[in-house]
Amino acid sequence: MDEEDDNFAAGIDACRHLGGQNPATANLPMGGFIHTGVGNGTARTNYPSIGQIQDGSLVYATAGGTANELTLAVSPVITAYTAGQMFAFVASADNTDSATATMNINGVGAKAILHDGFSLKGGYIRSGSAYVIVYNGDYFDLLNPTSGSNDVCSAYLSSDVTISPSTETKISWDGTTYDKGTTNGFWVSGSPTRFTVPFRGVYMATANIAFTLASPDNGTYVRVRFKVNDSFGKYGWVEAAQNISDGLVWSANLTMPAQLLEADDYIEVSVYHKYTTAALDIDATYTSVSVLHV
């Protein structure tokens, strides 16, 4: 009888108790069958339901905090950051240029949010929009910043500008007729020659530069170029040039083909001439420039 009782005990131990008092001691093969009617996982050691995975509820929440100091509360909570973690959130405020944006999830600690390794420009995160971030072991990489598509700036001169001969001169613009650079404009008066792009992307720059040539030398050489980051070399260059005969007025219409620019790259218009007897004027009435994010 004692031996039979031992067999009963061994058989009971090999069974799983419905109340969970008899946990598994090895992997449980399901023979191709599934668990049905499972509840949602509530701890990191639980397995989730397919509904939780499809709904993204384990890694998605509405961000709290401030514009540049974001917080996120996901459930189940995390206790440490691990490279490869991915989270999604809806922003409750626009980020700004005043400070580096950070994310703090479940109080683990604030980590910088960057894009392609660069600090975010203001407006990369906008209130009400959804974003995805991935932790790379050092910071959170923002995968889908707001692009600022179709942002555009158009600038003008309020009066004629005199250009000295044989000197490469960048035009200083007086102001903008339109400057929609998301939350950051392209042009600021402190850097009047520059149009700084607010987002990485493809841009088109167009300039119309009119020259006042009262009595130029016969064959006066005039040239207009676009420069990127004060260089003609980073993306190549585009220029319009012409020898102008005595008594003629020349207007340069110049378009820089679409280029892939990084945030904070800047575009300038450069003028050069060989009007050897005197300076040359740019006619403000017919001169303008525009930069478009396409």
Tens digits of residue pLDDT in 197-233: 877 778 889 998 887 765 555 556 778 888 889 887 5
Q: Report whether 260 contacts 202 (CB < 8 A).
A: yes
Residue 70 resides in a domain = yes
Residues in the chain: 294
Parallel, antiparallel, or unpaired for β 280-282 and 175-180? unpaired
Q: What token pair was written down for 174? A: 């007086």
Assess if residue 273 is contained within a domain. Answer: yes
Boundary residue ending a domain (142, 169, 185): 142
Residues 183 and 287 in one domain: yes
On whether the CB atoms of residues 148 and 199 are closer than 8 A, the answer is yes
Low-confidence ranges of the chain (pLDDT < 70): 1-18, 147-150, 181-184, 213-220, 233-250, 275-279
Domain containing residue 235: CATH number: 2.60.120.40
Q: Is residue 272 part of a domain?
A: yes
**Beta strand pairing call for 140-142 and 110-115:** parallel
Q: Are residues 134 and 158 in the same domain?
A: no
Domain boundary among 142, 168, 186: 142
Together in a domain, 228 and 121: no
Determine, yes or no, domain membership for 32.
no
Task: Give the predicted TM-score (pTM) of the model.
Answer: 0.63
When divided into structural domains, the chain yields a total of: 2
- Domain containing 89 equals 50-142
Q: Are residues 157 and 132 in the same domain?
A: no
On whether both 182 and 288 belong to a single domain, the answer is yes
Distances (CA, A) of 185 to 3, 123, 281: 87, 11, 28
269 DSSP β-pair partners? 226
Please give the sequence-ordered ranges of beta strands (E in DSSP) within 157-250, or none if there are none.
Answer: 161-163, 169-170, 175-180, 195-196, 201-212, 220-228, 239-244
Residue 37 lies in a domain: no
Same domain, 183 and 276: yes
Q: 207 and 87 in one domain?
A: no
Is there a single domain that holds both residue 104 and residue 166?
no
- Please report the pLDDT score of residue 236 as a whole number: 45
Are residues 256 and 196 located together in one domain of the fold? yes
Domain boundary among 88, 112, 142: 142
With respect to residue 23, please indicate whether it lies within any of the assigned structural domains. no
